[in-house]
A and B are shown apart, each in its own frame.
Chain A
Amino acid sequence: MQRLRRIYAVCINEFHNIKRDPVALRIPFVMPIVWLILLMPTFVINPTNLALNIDDQINNQYSTTIIDVLNENENIIIDDDATNKIEINAEGLTFYFDSSDYLNSRALEYEIKSSLAQSSNSLDFNTIASYEGVNGTDVFVILGMIGLVIQNILVFLSSISIVKERENGTIDHLLFSPVKYNEIIIGKLIPYFIIGLIDAVILVILSHYMYNITLTNLFMYFLIVTLFILSCLTLGLFISSVSTNQMQALLYTVFLLLPSILLSGFAFPIASMPKFIQVLSNFIPLKHFNIISRELIINNAVFTELIPNIVMLLAIILCSGAMAVVMLRLSKYKHSM
């Protein structure tokens, strides 16, 4: 009986502790609802909205029939700007597979095959992949993995950096001192930035020696890595600046990280997701990093082709950095002493 009473005391105490942290109490209930609404549509088993560019070089009845067959497929959208292309010429059909958009390209290849198989003119076609390296799939995965690892490590580390000082009371000294709020954010960011860069170098070296994958355009790649690291760190510091304790910071981080993985195009093609989720995915740095690194390494893209995603990464850095500074300033009145 005494044992039960002691367990009851510990249990009740824990309930009180949970109750007194409204944010920590809210997140476990809000998280499943938001995740379920937001993440269910991201699990795309059968990709749709697959953009295909058709280059009809013979323009006769044979090619018209093929185009009609492809048009009938609900999952295929004919788009002249699409990077996946099917060429119809006198020698037959050639499918130009965009390795940087591996998930969509693979689904598209399957859809073309099944459409043509169902047609009366049962035809085969050649596939030419845009990436001529060792293994297109491995490169696609490794580039995504590098982003994923860097993001997870850096957001976790930076998300507790300010809140740890808040818990220890050491933040008061910084807030009283002549140090400006943006100087605190930049000062906190630099050590983790160096950690992120070292991590990226380790990952590139490991992928070379373990998976025989040599990344080209390394200078440009590391410039993009730099922007990506900064975007992860500013996001983490923003989380840290709004959190009252480390528990809250960890919950916010988990709340952010899972959607960011699913909305990054690493596991499921974004084009097949609902429109509002596609819009939402633009705020995820990992999505832009994945697009840029795949375009750069797999398709040897030039700088101008990467500008839209680079601009988005810069916008995320500036917005989340500015929000971190503002929240830190406001927290002076909320949390200190």
Chain B
Amino acid sequence: MKNVVEFKNVHKSYGKKKVLNDISFNIEQGTIVCLQGANGAGKTTIIKIICDMLKVDGGKVLFNGSTKLIDDIGYMSQHFSLYKNMTVKENMHFFARIYNLDFVMVDSQIKRFGLEEYVDYKLKNLSGGWKQKVSLACATLHNPKLLILDEPTAGVDPVSRKEIWDIISQFTTDGMSILVTTHNIDEIFKSDKVVFINNGKIVLEQLPPNKLLDYYGIETIEELYYRAVKGEVYAKA
């Protein structure tokens, strides 16, 4: 399968502090890659590099096999960052305008996300779950090739979480590649591949979550991650 993004031996430091140390992984087309790690592990640095907000110190980042950046990226930030004083529809129209899309796309997106009832609500009046759905709807309105989700379900109730993940899964069937970070450990199982990072290094084999547990012979993902951080298990590659 074609690689949309490929990190090859990437190094990055902030001053003397090394935040990424020989990072190599890839995101294949139509797959969900889950970037897992504690706060400060280097996840946001990876996202910033993909979004051209940081330059690497060493190694290469390839987009569709080339070093040329792709501008067809959808991004949903960790912190809710839409216009709170505007309605759902106004926010989506704003995104449609900046991506030069027809408003018909907005209507279909509203239906897809089940937002019909809330289109005229100001975002500040919506619950956390609905806000995240609107954020996701806006980030994917232009049907990007690569979608970056930075903790999309943080602070969201279980019902909304399931709905959000159902929508995310649908996107991959349309060929969208997704890079997701999450602290909800059970959500790892929704991904096709997990990349565990600790202190800027990949600490476990990059495998689908179930295979990962079998590979290390450990029952729970929490236990595996804990032991990886403690240096009791490690990536062999």
Chain A contacts to B: CB under 8 angstroms: 168-170, 172-174, 176-179, 332-333, 336-337
Which residues on the A side are within 8 Å of B78 (C-beta)?
Answer: 337
B100–A168 contact, CB under 8 A? no
A172–B47 CA distance with the chains assembled, in angstroms: 13
Which residues on the B side are within 8 Å of A169 (C-beta)?
Answer: 77, 79-81
A173–B52 CA distance with the chains assembled, in angstroms: 13
Task: Tell me the B57-89 residues at the A interface (CB within 8 Å).
Answer: 71, 73, 75, 77-84
For chain B, the bracket of interface size reads 20 to 34
Is there a chain A Cβ closer than 8 Å to B98's Cβ? Answer: yes
A168–B79 CA distance with the chains assembled, in angstroms: 9
Is there a chain A Cβ closer than 8 Å to B44's Cβ? Answer: yes
A176–B75 contact, CB under 8 A? yes
Shortest distance from the beta carbon of B79 to any chain A beta carbon, whole Å: 5
B71–A173 contact, CB under 8 A? no
Nearest residue (CB) in B for A169 is B81
B83–A170 contact, CB under 8 A? yes
Nearest residue (CB) in A for B83 is A170
From B53, B73, B75, A332 is in contact (CB under 8 Å) with B53
Which residues on the B side are within 8 Å of A179 (C-beta)?
Answer: 98
A172–B76 CA distance with the chains assembled, in angstroms: 9
A80–B83 CA distance with the chains assembled, in angstroms: 61
Shortest distance from the beta carbon of B101 to any chain A beta carbon, whole Å: 11
B71–A178 contact, CB under 8 A? yes
- 4 more CB-based (< 8 A) A-B contacts, given A172-B81, A178-B98, A332-B53: A172-B77, A178-B99, A333-B53, A337-B53
Q: A337-B47, A337-B53, A337-B77 are in contact. Are A178 and B100 (CB under 8 A)?
A: yes
Shortest distance from the beta carbon of B84 to any chain A beta carbon, whole Å: 7
Which residues on the A side are within 8 Å of B73 (C-beta)?
Answer: 176
Chain B contacts to A: CB under 8 angstroms: 44, 47-48, 51-54, 71, 73, 75, 77-84, 95, 98-100, 138, 150
Which of A169, A176, A178, A333 has most B Cβ within 10 Å?
Answer: A176
Which residues on the A side are within 8 Å of B71 (C-beta)?
Answer: 178
B99–A176 contact, CB under 8 A? no
Which residues on the B side are within 8 Å of A168 (C-beta)?
Answer: 81, 83-84
Which residues on the B side are within 8 Å of A177 (C-beta)?
Answer: 95, 98-99
A179–B97 CA distance with the chains assembled, in angstroms: 10
A179–B71 CA distance with the chains assembled, in angstroms: 11
Which of B53, B83, B95 has most A Cβ within 10 Å?
Answer: B53
Which residues on the A side are within 8 Å of B83 (C-beta)?
Answer: 168, 170
Nearest residue (CB) in A for B45 is A337
A179–B78 CA distance with the chains assembled, in angstroms: 22
Which of A172, A177, A336 has most B Cβ within 10 Å?
Answer: A177
A333–B55 CA distance with the chains assembled, in angstroms: 9
Interface pairs (16), CB distance under 8 Å = A168-B84, A169-B79, A169-B81, A172-B75, A173-B82, A173-B98, A173-B138, A174-B98, A176-B73, A177-B95, A178-B71, A332-B52, A332-B53, A333-B54, A337-B44, A337-B78
B81–A173 contact, CB under 8 A? yes
Which residues on the B side are within 8 Å of A170 (C-beta)?
Answer: 81-83
A337–B75 CA distance with the chains assembled, in angstroms: 11
Which residues on the A side are within 8 Å of B81 (C-beta)?
Answer: 168-170, 172-173
Which residues on the B side are within 8 Å of A336 (C-beta)?
Answer: 48, 53
Shortest distance from the beta carbon of B92 to any chain A beta carbon, whole Å: 12
B95–A173 contact, CB under 8 A? yes
Shortest distance from the beta carbon of B94 to any chain A beta carbon, whole Å: 8
Which residues on the A side are within 8 Å of B138 (C-beta)?
Answer: 173
Which residues on the A side are within 8 Å of B79 (C-beta)?
Answer: 169
A330–B44 CA distance with the chains assembled, in angstroms: 19
